[in-house]
Structure 1
C-alpha cells in the first residue's frame, strides 16, 4: 500500500495494537510468574523437614492400622491387593484399577507426546476420583483406599464395553457399584455411581466428590503451554473460564453442569448429568522442573435423594481439544477452545464461521501438507480483501498526483500546520480523493491477524505437522538456539519470524519510495522501525502464524508492484482528478465537521498568540 499520511495513521494504529498486545501478553506472563512463585513458596513452606527411613516406616505402619480401622464393614477391601484391567476402543486405551474402582491411566491412541509414545492423561499417582463413605457408627473412609472387585466386563455387539466394579462389605450390608460405559469411537466415558444402602453410606444424601487431576506437559514449550491452560465450567447454565496463571481457585455457589481443564491441545471434563449443587476448585502451578502444567483439586457436592438405593450419573471426557468433536457432545465443551477470548473475543465469530470452515475445506483438497493449506488460506483472505487493497493503492496513486500541489501549500503557508490542513482538505474534496482510503486495508488486517493468532494457537490439526524447516507448525520453529535467554526474544530465533520481519521491511521500503515526503519524523521513520517490533512479538508464536504473515507479505509485495506498474493508469487518474474539480462539490457531514474543527483550532491558536504578545 502507498504510505500517504492517512495510510501511515493506519500503520501507526496497527503498530500500537501490536505493541499493546505485546504489553498485554507480557503482563499476563508477569502475573503468571508471580502466581507461580507464590505457589512455589507455599509448597516449600509446607514441605516436610524430616524424612528419615525410620520415620517413613513408622508412618506407613500407622497409616495401615488407621486405614484398616476406618474401613469398618469394608475392612477386607483395605488390605486386598490392587488389580488392573485394560480396555481399548478406537481412540482410547484405559487402564482401570481395582483401587477405588476407577480409571488409573488413559492414553490417546491418535496423538503422541514429546517422547513419541501416546499422550497420557490422568496417569499420575496424584490423579483420582474420590468420595467419603460411612463405614460404621463412628468411622468413615475414602473409596480411593478401598479395593473394588471387578464384577462385570462385557463387550456388546456395537463394540462398546461395560465395566462394573463392586464394593461389598465383609458381611451383609450396603454396597457400591461403579459402572463404566466405553463406546467405540468416543472419548467420553459414562460413569455411574450406584449405591445400595445409601442412607447408611452417605450423610443426608450428600455425595462429596473429589476430583484430583494433574496435567502433565504435552508440548515442547512448557511455559507457553502453561500460559494457554485454562479451567472452564458451566455454572447456572453460563460458561466461564480462568487462565491458571491469573488466579488459583474458584468457588461454585450455583448448580454446575461440568468442570474441565484445557491444556493447549488436550482437555479433561467431569460432567454431572444432574448437576453438582456446589463446590470449590483449586489449582497450583508446579515448577518447570516437574514437567507438569498444573495440579488441581475439585471438591464438588452431589445432592442425592435420602434413600436406600440411589445413583449418580456422571461422565468423564479425556481427549483432544478438537472443536468439532467437542461440539458433538452438545454440552458446551467447545466453548473452552480459544478461538478468541478476553480482549480478543470479538474475533471468535470470525474463526467460528469463516476461518474454520474455509480451512477445513482447504485441508480436504490440499492433501497432507498443512503448510500448503495455510498458504492457500492466505491467498483466499487476500482475494477477499483485494477490492479494498486496490482502493488503497488507487488512493495512494491519487495522493501521489497531488504531491506537487501539497508541496505548494506547504511552501505558501510555511509552519502554519492548521492552515495547511484546512487547505489540504479543500484540495482533497475538489479532487475527489478520500484521505482515509489508504487506512482501511491496514485496519482490516487487525481482526484477521488476531483471529488467526487464536486459531493457529489452538488448532490441534497443526500439532506435530512439519513444513519446510519447521518440525511442528503449532510451535515456533527454533532454527537457532542460543542456549541462554535474551530479553524479549527468548532462547531461540525463529526463521519464519526472520522471514516475516524481512518481507515487512521490504514492503516499507517499497511503499515509502512511492509516497510523498513526510515532514513529521515519526511518520517518516515508523514504517522502517515497525517491522523490527515483529521480531520480539513473533519469535515465540506458532510457526503457522509467522508462515501466514510471510506469505501475506510476499503477496503484498507482488500486488504493489503489479498494480502500481501495470494496472493503475496515472494519466487517467490525473484526468479524473481534473474532471472532479470541475464538478460542484457537496461537503459530507464528516468533511464539514473536520473543517469546522480545523477552523476553530486555527482561531484558538490566533487568540493564544495575541494573548502571549500582550
Structure 2
C-alpha cells in the first residue's frame, strides 16, 4: 500500500509541476510579445525622429523641355517645370510665370510594405540619397538612382529615374528592393501603390479651366482598348480592372501614369474643388502582386506635357483621345476638317488672329455653294410672296387646296423650300463643333491679337462690379461685335420678309426668334474663347458681303420674275388646251 501511495503522490506532483510550467510559459510569451510590440513602436518612433532631424535635399533632372526636382524625403518628384510654356500671371494679365505642372509635392506617390510582425514601411517617410547618376553621351538619357536603407534591418530600396533627351516629356521610374524579401514575409502577396495628385490652376479663367479638367483612363477588354473618364463636375470613384494608363487632364496639359504592365485592380477617385489654388484632387490606389521571398520590382512612366495631338500620337497609346474635340461626328469635324485647315494656315507664320480670319474665309468659301442656294431660295421666296398672299386669300377656308396650290407654285418656280432646311441642318454641326475646337488648341494658348491677350480665353474691355447670370462680370468686345454683325445680317436677310408659311396665323412669327438670337449669343459666348467670337464675327461679316454680292451680281430678280410669268403662261395655256380637248370630246 505504501508503494501505491507513493506512486499516486508522484503522479500528483508531476501534474502540479507541469501545470506551473504551462502557466509560466504563457505569461513569459505574453511578456515577450509585449516587449516586441514596445520595441517595434520604439523603432518606428526613432525612425520618425531620425527623419525629422535630417535635412530635406533636392536633386534635379532636366532636358530641353522638362525640369524635375526630386526630394530626398520620400524620394518623390517635388516639382515639374515645362520649360517651353508659361502660366497665367493675374498681376501682369498674361502668361508670364514659370509653368509648374507639379509644385510643392502636389503629386505624391508612395509604396506600403507590411510584414507578419506588423511592421510597416511607408516609402514617403524614408530618407533617400543619390546613389548613382549617369548620362549616356550618345542617347542623352540621364539616370538617377535614389537609395534608402531598410529602417528595420538589412537591405535597401532604390528609386530609379530616367529622363530622355531633347523634347521628351516622359520620365521613367522603377522601384527595386535589395534583400527585403527574407525580412518581409507577407500575408498578402503584394504591395500597395498610392497616388494623390492635386491639379494646379494655370489659366486665366479658373472655372472655365476646371470644366476641361478631368480624369481619363484606358482599359483593355477582349483585345480592344477603350478610353473612358470620370465626371468633370462631381466627386466620383470607381474600382477598375485592366488599366493601361491613367491621365489627369487639364485644359492644355496632362499628367499621365503609364504602367509597364496592365493593372488588374485599381481604385480611382476624383474630387472637385469649387475654389482655391487647386482644380481637382485625384487619388488612385493600386495593388501590385509579388511572390514571397523574391525581390520586388515595379516600373512605370510619367508623362508631364502638353495636349498636342500630333505629339501625343507618337506614343501610340491612344493618348490623343483625351483631347476633348467633342463627341460623335463633332469630333471628326474638328480633327479632320478644322484642324487640317488650321495646321495648313499655321505654316504661314502669321499672327494667330489673322490665321483664324483666314481660316474663316477658307471655310466660308468651301461652304459657298450651300450659302448660294440659301440666298437664291430666300430671293425667290421674296419675289413670289405676292403670289403666296393671293393663294392664302383665295383658299382661306380650304387648307388642303391652299397647300396644294402653294406647292404647285413652288414646283412651277423650280424651288424646294425643304432644301433651305437641309442646308441649315448641314451647317449646325459645323457651328457647334467650333465650341470644342478653339478652347482645346494649345497653339492658340497665350497668343494675342489686337486687344485680345489670350485667344483661348475671353477678352475683357470692362470689368463689372457685379455678376450677371449667363453673362458674367466682364464685357467682351469681340462678343459685342459678333452679336452686332449677327443682328445686321439677320436684318438684311429678313428685310421686308414675313413668314413664308401658308397662313400668317398658322405659326408664331419667326422674325421675333431670329432677332432674339443675337441677344442669346451675346449672353451665351461672353465667357467663351475669344477665338470663337473672332471666328463668328468674321463669318457674319463674310455673310453680309456674300449677301450683297449674290443679290447684286449673281441673282437677276427681273429674269426670275420673267421666268415665273413664263411658267404661269405655259400653265394657263396647258390648262386651256386640256379644257378645249375636253369640250371637243364632249361634242
TM-score range for the pair, normalised by the shorter chain length:
0.7 to 0.9
Return 195-204 or 308-317, whichever deviates more: 195-204
When residues 202 and 441 of structure 1 are mapped into structure 2, their CA distance, relative to the original with a 3 A threshold, is farther
Deviation at 1:271, TM superposition (A): 1.2
Partner residue of 1:264?
Answer: 251
Number of equivalenced pairs = 514
Question: 1:479·1:495 contact (CA, 8 Å) conserved in 2?
Answer: yes
| TM alignment of 1:225-240, pairs within 5 A | 225-236=209-220, 237-240=225-228
Question: 2:131·2:146 contact (CA, 8 Å) conserved in 1?
Answer: yes
Aligned partner (choices 336, 348, 367) of residue 322 of structure 2:
336
Deviation at 1:79, TM superposition (A): 5.4
Partner residue of 2:204?
Answer: 220
Question: 2:215·2:270 contact (CA, 8 Å) conserved in 1?
Answer: no
Deviation at 1:509, TM superposition (A): 0.7
Deviation at 1:238, TM superposition (A): 1.6
After superposition, give the CA deviation of every residue in 1:278-322 in whole Å (9 maximum; x if it has no partner): 12122322341x221011211122223445134212011111122
Deviation at 1:375, TM superposition (A): 0.7
Q: Which has the higher contact order (CA 8 A, sep 6+)?
A: 1
Aligned-residue RMSD, C-alpha: 2.5
Measure, in 2, the Cα distance between the counterparts of 1:234 and 1:272: 11
Partner residue of 2:465?
Answer: 483
SS in 1 for 2:160: strand
Question: 1:78·1:146 contact (CA, 8 Å) conserved in 2?
Answer: no
Aligned partner (choices 141, 144, 152) of residue 163 of structure 1:
144
Greater share of helix:
1
TM-score of the pair, normalised by structure 2 = 0.82
| TM alignment of 1:116-265, pairs within 5 A | 116-134=96-114, 137-157=117-137, 158-169=139-150, 173-184=154-165, 185-197=167-179, 199=181, 200-201=183-184, 203=186, 204-236=188-220, 237-252=225-240, 254-265=241-252
Deviation at 1:362, TM superposition (A): 0.4
Partner residue of 1:102?
Answer: 76
When residues 580 and 205 of structure 1 are mapped into structure 2, their CA distance, relative to the original with a 3 A threshold, is farther
Return 242-251 or 426-435, whichever deviates more: 242-251
Question: 1:191·1:316 contact (CA, 8 Å) conserved in 2?
Answer: yes
SS in 2 for 1:107: strand
Deviation at 1:553, TM superposition (A): 0.2
After superposition, give the CA deviation of every residue in 1:420-477 in whole Å (9 maximum; x if it has no partner): 3332112112322111232344322211122211110111111111111111100010
| TM alignment of 1:497-516, pairs within 5 A | 497-513=479-495, 515-516=497-498
Question: 1:161·1:182 contact (CA, 8 Å) conserved in 2?
Answer: yes
SS in 2 for 1:131: strand
- Rg larger for: 2
SS in 1 for 2:528: coil
Question: 2:43·2:152 contact (CA, 8 Å) conserved in 1?
Answer: no
When residues 412 and 211 of structure 1 are mapped into structure 2, their CA distance, relative to the original with a 3 A threshold, is same
Name stretches of at least 5 consecutive residues in structure 1 with no aligned partner.
1-64, 585-614
Deviation at 1:147, TM superposition (A): 0.8
Partner residue of 2:551?
Answer: 564
Partner residue of 1:467?
Answer: 449
When residues 413 and 339 of structure 1 are mapped into structure 2, their CA distance, relative to the original with a 3 A threshold, is same
Partner residue of 1:308?
Answer: 294
Partner residue of 1:82?
Answer: 56
When residues 581 and 280 of structure 1 are mapped into structure 2, their CA distance, relative to the original with a 3 A threshold, is farther
